A and B are shown apart, each in its own frame.
With several copies, the nearest count.
Chain A
């Protein structure tokens, strides 16, 4: 998926000279390699290593975006968006609305996030809920290389600010990427595996955990449909509802904590759209409400996985 994102950046930077990348250590492509080699093709004017100044990195991106450039910001770790929170939620998110539509703010925030490899408390957090809760931002979250490339391209072309949550555990996931440049629209969910018994709505790494769960459950004759919303704002409510109306059962799987999260909201969306179609309560898979611990057994315990999805699906079938 890292290569697909790199390809998307290259394609968009070739297409539009206004596009530039900014972040910490992105010239060498640290920490995850996504921006690697871009400087060779586009030069240091368009691939900017910034000082450790998250507020200035994100804030300056807005300043550039409203005056003609198209920045793609690398947050390094999504955890550090806390150091630029005002810039994201008060400045960037509100610039079009508050100013009555006078200013475009075509800006992309790449948010490497997620649990894994004992990242520990400050390097593992799933913070997408805060931004879904912030009107004025579009939020997407790819699970495959093809989606990652397509969504990042769409994000860069979008005249509004878009956050792309890239699970850092997926950078090495491989998968087919189409030859042609195929942007994936925002607001279009994708059925990653069809099935008739239970709908599992999952994002990012949990899509893979859910597919694994689906394979295991298939052996028991349970056909799970895995639906990946791909973008959270806007959300393809129709696609989710369509699936649940057929299966009558829903599991929602995310990696963030339980409370006031994206999954809680999706559960409500399903309830609102499909209450009469549900044959069982929606079951959620999420991390318990604790910070992410360092030690592997602890980290393993809090990380939602295929087992959790299997258990959740079974619960909806009880």
Chain B
């Protein structure tokens, strides 16, 4: 199983899009343009992009508090996302969600989540409706190494396994849950190893190698499409930046971040593409320029879009109105 040239280039562009988007929102946040809390996925792009590259457009994704990358990789429009981060009226959730609480139904991205591991129990239900339709779709639910210690991980994996549902449980293990080391909070030292207890495949991959991620996810996805049930993937990666913007990171060494930069998934794929003569500096420059233009456009769009009217806070509660009582 190996991705063809188009897919490789697509993944390269995809990772670059996530990287530059996240760098831009960090900048915008630092400049006070974005309200709320912000968690970016810089350094972890291979997870989102490798996993989503294994999906069809009609497959579903459930995401996390660190979810911009998943949405972008799933094909979400940058305009709607950026406007949402700005809290604008034409944000994908009309400004009601924000970074941690947004969804984009148009690409079957069923939601970031402010509650860790919540997606693990939503996923089996998505799998159930897929199974009932017989549509051979799959759902990927992302969660962190920290989240894997919550009960819903257990309940969701068990339910998906016992009902043979088309779910891929994708753990992005970036070594830390905020300031708490995974090694001090996940007993046994391996999330993937937990799969055996449920009789499903569990696999650890280098989460900084987009090909490895793509391959593992493709295996899991094909299995799910064949009706053979869920899989658990643990992708080991490194976040280059703070847990949230403003995090002083007193809990970890500079060496770790340097290790992250050394194993940069984007540069790594770039080198591979160059070695295969699929990419040269000029081409890379064009890709970058295209991505930058997209992001510039999204920022300009968001900057010039109106804020919601205050009383719109009362809209969107229920399908039918009035329900003020």
> Residues of A at under 8 Å CB distance from B?
24-25, 27-28, 30, 45, 49-56, 58-69, 71, 79-80, 82-83, 86-87, 90-91, 94-104, 117-123, 135-136, 138, 158-160, 187, 233-237, 288-291, 293-302
On whether A63 and B313 interact (CB within 8 A), knowing A53-B150, A119-B37, A294-B35, the answer reads no
Contact A237 B325 (CB under 8 A): yes
Can you sample 7 A-B contacts with CB below 8 Å?
A53-B159, A56-B155, A60-B121, A96-B317, A100-B96, A294-B97, A298-B313
Chain A positions within 8 Å of B125 at CB level: 59-65, 67, 69, 71
> Residues of B at under 8 Å CB distance from A?
35-37, 60, 62, 87-88, 91-105, 110-111, 113-118, 120-130, 132-133, 139, 146-147, 149-152, 155-156, 158-159, 162, 177-180, 184-186, 250-251, 307-320, 323-325
For the complex, what is the distance from the CA of A171 to the CA of B133, rounded to whole Å?
35
- Write the nearest CB–CB distance from B253 to chain A, whole angstroms: 15
For the complex, what is the distance from the CA of A86 to the CA of B159, rounded to whole Å?
18
Contact B178 A30 (CB under 8 A): yes
Contact A53 B158 (CB under 8 A): yes
- Write the nearest CB–CB distance from A95 to chain B, whole angstroms: 7
Chain A positions within 8 Å of B129 at CB level: 63-64, 67-69
For the complex, what is the distance from the CA of A50 to the CA of B186, rounded to whole Å?
10
Contact B96 A59 (CB under 8 A): no
By secondary structure, the A interface counts as loop
Q: Nearest 10 pairs between A and B by C-beta? A: A63-B125, A122-B114, A59-B121, A295-B87, A294-B98, A295-B95, A60-B125, A51-B185, A100-B93, A118-B36
Contact B122 A52 (CB under 8 A): no
For the complex, what is the distance from the CA of A60 to the CA of B105, rounded to whole Å?
18
- Write the nearest CB–CB distance from B70 to chain A, whole angstroms: 15
Contact A96 B316 (CB under 8 A): yes
Chain A positions within 8 Å of B316 at CB level: 96-97, 100-101
Chain A positions within 8 Å of B99 at CB level: 120
- Write the nearest CB–CB distance from B254 to chain A, whole angstroms: 17
For the complex, what is the distance from the CA of A103 to the CA of B179, rounded to whole Å?
34
Contact B310 A300 (CB under 8 A): yes
Contact B116 A66 (CB under 8 A): no
Known: A86-B118, A294-B95; 10 extra A-B contacts, CB below 8 A, are A56-B156, A59-B156, A60-B128, A103-B110, A120-B114, A122-B101, A122-B113, A158-B319, A291-B96, A296-B87
On whether A102 and B93 interact (CB within 8 A), knowing A59-B122, A64-B125, the answer reads yes
